[in-house]
Chains A and B, each alone.
Chain A
Amino acid sequence: MFLAQSSPYLQPGLNVSKMMRVVTLLMMPGILTATYVFGYGVLVNILLAIVFALSFEAIILYLRKRPVKVYINDNSALLTAVIIGVALPPLAPWWLTFVGVFFAIVVAKQLYGGIGYNTFNPAMVAYAILLVSFPAQMTTYWQTPTMLLSQVDGQTLSLLETVQFQLFSQLPANVTMDALTSASPLGIVRTSVLSGAATIGEIDAQGNAFGVLGGIGTEWVNLAFLAGGLFMLRKDLISWHIPISLLAMLGFLSLLLGSFELDSNPSPIFHLFSGATMLGAFFIATDPITAATTPKGRIFYGAGIGALIYIIRTWGGYPDAIAFSVLLMNMCVPLLDYYTQPRVYGHKAENNDQEQS
């Protein structure tokens, strides 16, 4: 068969709109697992975030006199909203999502000039601002993972009850907030193990923090995000540099520093499969706008995030650190890109150095 088509014959790459849509779809396994583990709140969060994000995006684009339909269709606001929805606590009240999405879309994205111009990852700006501003809501509204894991006796909410709680903060009569929520595994490790109140073995015996791989409940969510991420790698949607270097650095540091005092340091596997590690490594850190662009720069970028995650988790004030690590490395991106520019074809490396000095 001859191609009934003139040149160029190269297949066009994915455009922004399609890529964002595919990435959002590949988050579905993780989202569904999270829903299974943490309850319907995850889905409600995501839906609310999408509605808010698209409305804010449309309003701001209209105010900035930009073509609304074109920019809404690039699906970047959709992906940001989905990431915020997954990252928020499953029982977050609606105004938490509202404030977060406002800062992500209006402040971090559109005020910086819209898609392609934002220095900081919008979803992570939202998360960091919420964590700093509303520490109580952001840390205590984590539902106990009960749907799947019968060994933890807690109460669950139906879909209707979840919506009722998130929109109007009304709980069913026989359910209390304390019975519904619990500290996340990373939180338990942060508060009790690292402060010296209990050893890893003692926590393990209590059975409310460690699962098969990582933190109880979150391990399955992490595995699902890992699956989606590996599929993205296979389909060349993202380059391997950032996620692999991030996970390698986090694993290496936890292996190296954690092997000295086994009583107070959780294993590398726990670090890799707890909290938002996989979501962060594959879906957040790889954001094409705010991440480094050169191959070498991407490796430094990913490794930097991995190191910061370990540092903040171990010695910092917060149990998990994806948002702060990503934002801190976002700041370094111009520097990384400047110093890791690959040699232009035909130029000698030495000449390049002399020119720079």
Chain B
Amino acid sequence: MTNTKTETATQTETQSKTSLLEEYAPIAKDGLWNNNAIFAQMLGLCPLLAVSNSVVNALGLGIATIMVMILSNVSVSLIRNIVRPEIRLPVFVVIIASAVTTIELIIHAWFHELYLVLGIFIPLIVTNCAIIARAEAFASKNTLGKSFFDGLMMGLGFALVLVTLGAFRELIGMGTLFANAHIMFGEGMQWLSIEVFSDYEGFLLAILPPGAFIGLAFLLAARNLLEKKRKDKEKQKKQQEKLTLETSVI
């Protein structure tokens, strides 16, 4: 079992030398759009819905998730040939839990205010199924470099959706963007906080949990619409190509 795995790994390594871009571009595309943790796999919705009530919170949790994903993917990839398949899941869980604990301690030490805001959701990153899904589906079968890149891209995809939803909810709910930016970037970055609508009454629903569900639904609908349009265009292109081929044959 382990032997065959190493063989496939070495095969992919020899291939990757041929063209780096061809190897890594699909990973980026998968992580950011095609196989996005939230849009396509619908994983990790709990932290997404809970913490996306402002851009800063979303950014904080997004960055923490990216770090955990990279750490866990790299570690899993490093030990993928040593761990027996029967016990791989407990090992992955231990690795992810250690990564989350490390990140939590870092945030606790250097971003204490952010730690207070995010609270329980930092330790809960460990329950984000997207992380163990990537460890199992990607990192345990691929080389170190690829796994690192996949962790980065998957984490980025997750963080981007989180920040987008956070921006929408903060804008509609409070009329601001990047409010409380100083708790993440320090006092010097206070200028980041923008009050988009002055004298805004505030739309509480967007900040409350129902706003997260409604906002996510609208984001998913928009993504599906884009995908549909893209597919329709591809179909049209194919048909046109067929037509041109046929006419040229004639």
Contact = CB atoms under 8 A, between A and B. Distances in A.
Across the A-B interface, the 7 shortest Cβ-Cβ residue pairs:
A133-B205, A133-B204, A133-B203, A129-B205, A132-B205, A132-B204, A132-B208
Interface string B199-224: 00101110010100010000000000
Given A99-B203, A132-B208, A134-B203, 12 more contacts: A107-B214, A129-B205, A132-B204, A132-B205, A132-B210, A133-B203, A133-B204, A133-B205, A134-B201, A134-B204, A135-B204, A137-B201
Nearest to B204: A133
Interface in B27-64: none
Contacts of B203: 99, 133-134
A129 B203 CA distance: 10
Which of A99, A132, A135 has the most chain B CB atoms inside 10 A of its CB? Answer: A132
A107 B208 CA distance: 17
Interface of A: 99, 107, 129, 132-135, 137
Q: Which secondary structure dominates chain B's binding surface?
A: helix
Contacts of B204: 132-135
- Size bracket, chain B contacts: under 10
Contacts of B208: 132
Interface of B: 201, 203-205, 208, 210, 214
Contacts of A137: 201
11 contacts: A99-B203, A107-B214, A132-B205, A132-B208, A133-B203, A133-B204, A133-B205, A134-B201, A134-B203, A135-B204, A137-B201
Contacts, number: 15
A135 B203 CA distance: 10
Contacts of A107: 214
Contacts of B214: 107
A223 to B, nearest CB: 34
Contacts of A129: 205
A107 B210 CA distance: 13
Nearest to A129: B205
A108 B197 CA distance: 27
Contacts of A99: 203
A137 B202 CA distance: 12
B208 to A, nearest CB: 7
A63 B203 CA distance: 26
A134 B206 CA distance: 11
A81 B75 CA distance: 59
A92 B248 CA distance: 68
Nearest to A96: B201
Nearest to B201: A134
A180 to B, nearest CB: 19
A276 to B, nearest CB: 21
B219 to A, nearest CB: 14
A233 B205 CA distance: 37
Nearest to B217: A111
A7 B250 CA distance: 63
B199 to A, nearest CB: 12
A203 to B, nearest CB: 30
Contacts of B205: 129, 132-133
A133 B208 CA distance: 9
